[in-house]
Amino acid sequence: MTVIAIAEEVRAALAAGQGVVALESTILSHGLPPGRNRKVAERLETVVREAGAVPATIAVLDGKIRVGLDEQQIDRVCAAEGLVKLSKRDLGPAIAMKQDGATTVASTAAIAHAAGISVFGTGGLGGVHLPLPGKHSSWDVSADLDALAEIPVLVVSSGVKSVLDIEATLELLETRSVPVVGYQTGHFPAFYLRESPFALSWRVDTPQQAADVVHAHRQVPGQAGILLANPIPPEYEMDRELHDQLLADGVKLLDERGVQGRDVTPVLLEHFHTASGGVSLDANEALVVANVTLAAQIAADLAGR
């Protein structure tokens, strides 16, 4: 049984050595509200094509991993209620039980690599969670980090959300030998905010420089991917006072509801979207579009080498 179905356009682009960009589906099913998610899905595929690459949105539908979705399949991902959020560990059970699902960063990276795609544009990366109030420590660490350490894919994201332990996340990536490179920044971004307090060792300022790093990294020993940290566009950065208040209220909400694990990010995003009056939605869309555009530029440059 073939569990990975690659769309003909994606298959042809890979065979021709053309740049291809993997896109996750969790941002569509869990990160954005109905209606807006469909518009963003179309916009993401459009900016990839405009940059000279081919988009490959990934999801699990009808018991198969789909690499490259047609219009009807994207409609299903954006309209379905209760679509399961699938990390890498969940792929086997979902396929066996023919459960439709949306892929996270970890599962999208794994599927992209299996399909021969080496560039992936997304919004934010998972990381090490801070302990909730009343707890001294947390064992809640996103599978995204292990995926980056084990899968040779470039992931372009706007860092991690500030509800996470950014310092511990960066330490873990260093321990796992994952290069973290800032794009036009010397500090790690914090999703809605352009900068966190944490400095980065490496910086690039053009898509071509980023492609140079990827090209060189592929030739050195090891199997880790690369994280390219691209800050949210300046005009969409959230006001820090508003951000800090939303974050404090969001953490309190998580504690009151006893939310843990994979449910933390969707609940927190929903709180930000509702309490900010839509400001965070605009920010979320702007940063993922910027990241996917940059990923496509890099993929197009790499395809010419």
Catalytic positions are 24, 161
Listed as own residue / partner, the contacts of 240-246 with beta carbons closer than 8 Å and 24 or more positions apart are: 240/193, 242/276, 242/279, 243/162, 243/192, 243/193, 246/271, 246/272, 246/275, 246/276, 246/280
| Helix runs in 116-219, H state only | 143-150, 166-175, 207-217
Q: Which residues are annotated as a binding site for substrate?
A: 85, 105, 142-144
Read off the tokens for 91: 């792929």
List C-alpha distances in Å: 231 to 44, 82, 113, 129, 148. 17, 31, 25, 21, 19
Any idea of the CA torsion for 237, 242, 243, 248, to the nearest 10 degrees? 180
Q: Which residues are annotated as a binding site?
A: 85, 105, 140, 142-144
Tell which residue, 68, 69, 110, 61, has the closest CA to residue 89: 110
Q: Which residues are annotated as a binding site for Mn(2+)?
A: 140
State the DSSP code for 191: T
Measure the CA–CA gap between 6 and 11, rounded to whole angstroms. Answer: 6
Determine the 3-state secondary structure of 252 from DSSP: helix
Read off the tokens for 267: 């609940």
